Chains A and B, each alone.
Chain A
């Protein structure tokens, strides 16, 4: 059952990711990215990460993707122009890229220990209370620094996107 669920969501994620790369209109890519993020949230649940699955759906698939779609709509982004690429880039790029992905997959497949597997429910410390406890004791300083980072990001975004007043 676990393997079927894994293969289902992994298949959705890979198909959506390929679609993201192949589509020429940014809004199609954005929708594919939502598919990838949703299926990754399901995979996090299978790995016992309840909190991180919820955060993935709310922060990534919700907030960040809305921001992307908003900008795509705002800028009225259309399809890409076809560009002339060099010959070896056009015919050599894709096979080389599949080689990269395949090599990464091969290395991880054979370096990772095949003996122990993932069972649903085999890890129960991914819930909000355990994460929160660790976040506010052991990782308190990074947490506080992150708030400064977000403040800087807010100010930077406003400064970059404001209208110039003369």
Chain B
């Protein structure tokens, strides 16, 4: 079997493709899973995929602004995780469940 023809430098599109695949999988988890915590983790996966795009374009444009944006995304994700997990704790305290289908008081 001949060795795979690997390029000497990785094309930008490979990184962006990986980012798209990870984002798609995050959407999948967000839609398929029934556990609030897993849904929340899928959101974090999507944020990570977008961060990868930021850093890749930062490399492409030879500017580090993308790094700063993804740093801000991380900060916002940390704040969001703190508040979101507090909300999950409150939901569990009031309902004794983590299934998103059973938390439906706003449904008419």
Q: Decide if B56 touches A47 in the complex (CB within 8 Å).
A: yes
Q: B79–A101 contact, CB under 8 A?
A: no
Say whether A87 faces chain B, with CB atoms less than 8 Å apart: no
Cα distance A26–B74 when bound, in Å? 22
Q: Is the interface of A mostly helix, strand, loop or mixed?
A: helix
The tally of residues in A whose CB lies under 8 Å from a CB in B reads 84
* A12–B31 CA distance with the chains assembled, in angstroms: 23
CB pair B19 A108 closer than 8 Å: yes
Q: How far is the CB of B38 from chain A (nearest CB, A)?
A: 5
Give every chain A residue within 8 A of B87 (Cβ-Cβ): 160
One digit per residue, 1 when the CB lies within 8 angstroms of any chain B CB and 0 when it does not, for chain A 104-133 equals: 110111111110111100110110001100
Are A149 and B67 touching (Cβ within 8 A)? no
* Beta-carbon contact of A67 and B85 below 8 Å: yes
- Residues 49 to 83 of chain B near chain A (Cβ within 8 Å): 51-52, 55-56, 58-60, 62-65, 67-68, 70-72, 74-83
- B12's partner among A74, A110, A117, A152 (CB-CB below 8 A) is A117
Bound-state Cα–Cα, A5 to B88, Å:
38
In this complex, what residue of B is CB-closest to A46?
B10
Pair A36/B22 contact, Cβ less than 8 Å: yes
Residues of B within 8 A of A67 (CB): 81-82, 85
7 contacts between A and B (CB under 8 A): A29-B29, A75-B98, A77-B37, A114-B13, A118-B9, A126-B67, A157-B82
